[in-house]
Structure 1
Amino acid sequence: MLAGIGARTAVPHGQQQVDDEPLEEGQSGDFNLNLNLQKGGAQSYQSYVGALNKQAEEIQVRKAIAMARALAPQQIQTLISSGQAAEALQVLKGTLMLHPKSGVAWYLAAEAEDASGNESAAGLALSKANQYAPGLPFADPRKAAALREHIGTAGCCAGQ
């Protein structure tokens, strides 16, 4: 057995159990993972890490959806204009999961991506916004034109 590394299992309440002996089958807990590193444990460990990453991603999605429900478009706009584009994008991720055809959400995503310096993603988001809300009737025409010009998509939504 590798020095200091024995069988591991996640136990309730997020605590980690490390023993020098393999765990017995059927031990209880929120989930049971026997990582006897002598018998192919590296693959089990990779599965375990993958499961944890997936769980963390699901938690982030749930948080994004909860935040999306809590913030109005004007509040998201305030996040963007106050230099918190990453936070705005996190909220918009949830909003777009709930409302994938929202021209407003896509437009805000374009603004947030632009503020983050990601002009390519901003251009794609602006195209989606125009697809779902032709002419972007909710946007200030001068701001929309400036955004298009800045991200180099002047032809994408011309005439709006």
Structure 2
Amino acid sequence: MKKQLLLFAFSALALTSCSDDDIQGYEMDMMKGDWKISKREVISGKDDKTVISTYTPTGCEAKNNTYFGTDYSTAFTSYSGVGASCNVNGFSSGTYSYDTDTKNLVINYNNDSPRKYQIVILTSSEMRIKQMYDNIDQNGDLVPDAEYVSYKR
């Protein structure tokens, strides 16, 4: 009887320790590092599916990157130039917050207002976010459309 009770106690402990407590750390670990924009899409706010426009960065702009740290730090570096001659054009740093339940990401660069996004896809090599601020109607249906930004490593 004591062995069964002890086995039950260890089983209960093992099951409770497998909760979702570390999802935040796991997702932040996937998010950490440098990300480059692979494309920007404006999607209809009416059905959240219809692509209104797509933009793929080229040239020096394709080198732009966003960094996320596990210490809630973030930075954006932009490049400009012609051909292979690309130089840093701008740099912004700040902090971010991330909620694993709602998938809300709020980026707050220094000297800027907080910008809210929702993470739609997050893997170790791909991230797609939906802009949740300053969305406007771009296709004339009187419903604000959303910009989605896809990142790759």
TM normalised by structure 1 equals 0.28
TM normalised by structure 2 equals 0.29
Q: Which structure is larger by alpha-carbon Rg, 1 or 2?
A: 1
